[in-house]
Amino acid sequence: DAAAAMRLSARGFHRVLRVARTIADLAGAEQVGRIHVAEALSYRRQAPRN
């Protein structure tokens, strides 16, 4: 849902998932959780709205 709301391309979506995996690894989590994805999304810059 967030990928559609933020209008992420497939490449952007994949990059968010990679960052989320890194965040989960640093937290010592076995799996990527919603909180990790949310944090990864928070690091993305917002596209300018025209």
Computed on alpha carbons and rounded to an integer, the radius of gyration of the chain in Å comes to 11
Residue 28 falls within a domain, yes or no? yes
**Would 49 be classed as within a structural domain?**
no
Host domain of residue 9? 2-42
What is the total count of domains within the chain? Answer: 1
pLDDT in tens, 3-49: 788 888 899 999 999 999 999 999 999 999 999 999 999 998 765 56
Q: Is residue 12 part of a domain?
A: yes
Task: Supply the pTM of this predicted model.
Answer: 0.80
Distance between CA 20 and CA 43 in Å, rounded? 10
Is residue 45 left, alpha or beta, with left meaning phi > 0 and alpha meaning psi from -120 to 50? beta
Is 16 inside any structural domain? yes
Judge whether 29 lies within some domain.
Answer: yes
